[in-house]
Structure 1
Amino acid sequence: MEKNQYKLCLEVLKRLEESGILRDVVLIGSWCISFYKDYFGSVQYPTAIKTRDVDFLVPIPSKAKKKVDIPNLLKDLGFIVNFKGSEGYIQLEHSDLIIEFLVPEKGRSSDKPYQLPQFGLNAQPLRFLDLLILDIIKVKIEGIEINLPHPANFALHKLIIFQRRTKEEKVSKDRNAAVEILMALIAKGEAATIKRVYNTMIPRWQKKVIKGLEEVKEKEILKIFMGI
């Protein structure tokens, strides 16, 4: 990532923390890869990322009690409101970063934005996001406490969604991230954690994980799930 991106991301996180919002949302997406660094400690894994997207997951029902107009909170940093797609999902766009809020899709598939009036914006519902809030870790970045999905949940989620991507660049990015983080967890002695998270998943999701690993021919990781 570029220094300007990192600095801006930290300022966004700082403002969300000071406003009382940050504790009620989970940072997901590629920024997690960089922010997992302290969790893995001496275990080596690639932390470089290349993305403008900063995604926040809002658990439903939201625990947020404070009403904060996020677009206005970040306006002076240069973020402008942009409406994505025909449904009008709100993004906060900057030349360096794009901020978006997401919620787990509930029930029958719907493209309708989920309204978050307490934040002054809406969120896009997406499938499989429930997996990311089952196990949360807290990390401190420059003194700012952030909620992240446990790396095992993050990686297994990536194994599922890379199979749904249409652009090869994103397919490769998600697939590589999943494998690298799972291998780092194994090196850290957390193979049992990976298996535990896998066992909490519904059978349909488990099949997608196995299919993803078979596609990338990662036999060492497959052994964890196949009981070899």
Structure 2
Amino acid sequence: MIQRHSTVAHAAYHDLLRSLKDEAAAQIRGTPTKVKRGDKTYWYDTFRVGNDVRKSYIGEDTPELAQRLSDLTKLRDQTADRQAHRTRLIRILRAEGFLSTDATTGSLLSAMAKSGVFRLGGTIVGTHAFRLYEGDLGLRYSFDDTAQTGDVDIASFERLSLALEDTVSPPLQDVFKHFAFDPVPSLKRDHVWRWKQTRNDLMVEFLTPSFDEDEGLRPLAALGVDAQSLHHLNYLIQDPIQAAVLYRSGVLVQVPQPERFAIHKLIVADRRRDGPDRIKAVKDRAQAAFLIRALAEDRPDELNEAYITARNTGPKWAKRLDNTLKRMPETLALLSAL
């Protein structure tokens, strides 16, 4: 049975998320400027540094973002009140039993957010993303292996990272050095996509979709790192959503849509069913089953669309879904009934 947080907690989370989005807009230094590329429009912060005119990426044009940009003066004036309000909201959420973020991970995500990782397309994937659906869906998580955290996985599109023409500041290498992370050598010399903290086993990994047969390393220009490319990842991180991390007065990050996350877990569980990663496949199936039960109640249309999109991508995708769902008759019944 799916357990839910109270309506008070659910409302507090969305109030926190809205405040963090307001705070992000309030940090704009200069004049918001539209830039059109193909069929999409993006906002940039245009400002002067000495005699130079610089541009910093804000985000893709949406009615919600456009409204915030039109209210910049008011948002800047309310900064102090907004921070105090977010602190109160986080106290409410913790009292309501929301999962906490440990200080090490929270401070790291906060530093990455300040450097621009999530603003520039970085999307948290894996169990850290799974935990953040607690607020978006109003779910109450139990403290079992399903929600236990491990590595911090950040994914982004290589092409988007190049097209944005902006980079994180300070560089991620400096951020990792501050938190005592060392680069993990890869098979390609001078190409680093993983960092490990020296005082514990916490690992940060960067990923990107593979559109080729191989799954080699690819550069993420905006983040200034390399990334391990993986098949099926393009489906997962398409059109991500923003989420709030409960650390201090809140951290604004990006995660995949929960519907795509759940279906993607079914796919990768089949990839991991044999070999050393088969234990991860058990966790993949547990997370998928949990989310699909909740989404079948709350967002059946969105779940069905995500499922059909994955099945229609190609016969290999459909086969992986079928292989996993053979082990999950209850989940298969829920998806078949949509």
Superposition pairs of residues 68-79 of structure 1, within 5 angstroms: 68=169, 69-79=171-181
What CA deviation, in whole Å up to 9, does each residue of 1:17-57 have, x standing for no partner?
2112222210001111211111121x444465334310000
Cα distance change on mapping 1:203 and 1:173 into 2, 3 Å? same
Question: Which residue of the partner structure matches residue 197 of structure 1?
Answer: 306
Q: Which amino acid aligns with 1:185?
A: L
Counterpart check, 1:9 vs 2:124: no
Deviations 1:206-225 (A, max 9, x none): 3322331122222xx32454
Alignment of 1:56 with 2:154, yes or no, is yes
Higher Rg of the two aligned structures: 2
Aligned partners of 1:46 and 1:67: how far apart in 2? 35
Distance 2:230 2:158 in 1: 12
Q: Is residue 45–residue 184 contact of structure 1 (8 Å, CA) maintained in 2?
A: no
Partner of 1:139: 243
RCO greater where, 1 or 2, for CA within 8 Å and sep 6 or more? 1
The aligned residue for residue 83 of structure 1 is 185
| Equivalent residue, structure 2, for 1:154 | 261
Unmatched runs of 5 consecutive residues or more in structure 1 = none
Deviation at 1:121, TM superposition (A): 2.4
Say if 2:207 is the partner of 1:207. no
1:124 equivalent in structure 2: 228
Distance 2:261 2:296 in 1: 14
1:38 matched to 2:149? The reply is no
Letter in 2 for 1:160: I
Q: TM-score, normalised by structure 2?
A: 0.59
The alignment partner of 2:195 has SS state of strand
Provide the rounded CA distance (Å) in 2 between the counterparts of 1:8 and 1:17: 14
Q: Could you list the structure 1 runs, at least 4 aligned residues long, displaced by more than 4 angstroms after superposition.
A: none
Correspondence for 1:93: 196
1:147-206 Cα shifts (integer Å, max 9, x gaps): 11111111111111111112332121111111111112123x212211111222213223
Q: What is the aligned-residue identity percentage?
A: 25
Query: Conserved in 2, the CA contact under 8 Å of 1:54 and 1:98?
Result: yes
SS in 1 for 2:254: strand
If the length of structure 1 is used for normalisation, what is the TM-score? Answer: 0.85
Query: What is the distance in 2 between the residues matched to 1:123 and 1:98?
Result: 14
Where 1:174 maps in the other structure, the secondary structure is helix
Alpha-carbon distance, 1:58 to partner: 1.1
**For the structure 1 residues 15 and 217, does the alpha-carbon distance in structure 2 shift closer, same or farther, using more than 3 Å as the test?**
same
For 1:39 and 1:207, the matched residues in 2 are separated by 30
Aligned length: 220
CA apart distance, 1:96: 4.3
The answer to whether the 8 Å contact 1:89/1:124 transfers is no
Q: Give the aligned partner of residue 211 of structure 2.
A: 106
Q: Do residues 20 (structure 1) and 116 (structure 2) align?
A: yes
Change (3 A) 1:64 1:58: farther
- Deviation at residue 134 of structure 1 after TM alignment: 2.3
